Amino acid sequence: MSKPAYRRVMIKVSGEALMGTETYGLHAPTIGKIAADLIEVRKSGVEVAVVVGGGNLIRGAMLAETGIKRATADQMGMLATVMNALALENAIEAAGGSARAMSAVAMPSLCEAYARQTALKHLKDHIVLLAGGTGQPYFTTDTGAALRAAELECEAIFKATNVDGVYDADPRTHRNAKRLDKLTHDEALAKDLKVMDAAAFALAREARLPIIVFSIREKNAIADAVRGTGRSTLVEP
């Protein structure tokens, strides 16, 4: 078997990715497929950290529009990411893999609290699922992914989305939008291309972390993206 291109990667799985074709919540067959995909990456010899989103259940900014204070709504959003991480942990273990969920917000009876040194140890033997984002309101799990990728010394961030890369315009509204194979952090910034939210992108750029944007909708999308065989956009320093 050829040597994997990466030693350790960060994979950002949004909450939306876990709802499959549904409009809310968790879709078990989709979660099963993502679990199998993550197991394949780990089996190839790559250490895998995953930051799990929560948008399939709660988005703080949207919830705040109902009158709940933003900081509280964000705390509820962080709880949603813990639910998703537990669902993914369960699916990975059910499929014969080994996973450890860790939360930025301590809830010891549900999963381990995040600590960098412990996460680094777990990465040797387990797929490490990082819940709670940064642990702070007003942030997103994209920022959590960039932060953890930097501190856990991941070599790249793989951002699973609903589209197969970064386009020069929004492909949902611009029929002629062109997919870009490769660009630099600076080009993305200059052209105002939304790769991740601003705080996440700034962190990734500062840490000189490559970001690979790919579609989670394809079969084995994560393993293909990490192998470098799937359709994706590489954003690099």
Residues in 105-134 that interact with ligand UDP by CB under 6 A: 133-134
In the complex, least distance from residue 59 CB atom to ligand UDP, rounded to whole angstroms: 4
Q: How far apart are CA 209 and CA 115, in angstroms?
A: 21
What is the contact mask toward ligand UDP in residues 69 to 98, using x (rule: CB under 6 A)?
-----x--xx-xx-----------------
Identify which range of 29-37, 136-144, 198-206, 216-224 contacts ligand UDP by CB under 6 A: 136-144
Q: Answer for the pair 126, 99: CB distance below 8 angstroms, yes or no.
A: yes
Of the candidate residues 30, 103, 140, 233, the single one contacting ligand UDP (CB under 6 A): 140
Q: Answer for the pair 72, 149: CB distance below 8 angstroms, yes or no.
A: no
In the complex, least distance from residue 160 CB atom to ligand UDP, rounded to whole angstroms: 9
How many residues contact ligand UDP, by CB under 6 A?
24
Q: How far apart are CA 164 and CA 167, in angstroms?
A: 9
Count the neighbouring beta carbons within 10 Å of the beta carbon of residue 63.
Answer: 18
What is the contact mask toward ligand UDP in residues 150 to 189, using x (rule: CB under 6 A)?
----------------------------------------
In the complex, least distance from residue 57 CB atom to ligand UDP, rounded to whole angstroms: 8
How far is CA 157 from each of CA 34, 131, 150, 169, 184, rounded to the nearest angstrom?
Answer: 17, 16, 9, 22, 14
Of the candidate residues 6, 139, 158, 167, the single one contacting ligand UDP (CB under 6 A): 139
Residues in 45-74 that interact with ligand UDP by CB under 6 A: 53-55, 59-61, 74
Residues that bind ligand UDP (CB under 6 A): 14-16, 53-55, 59-61, 74, 77-78, 80-81, 133-134, 136-137, 139-144
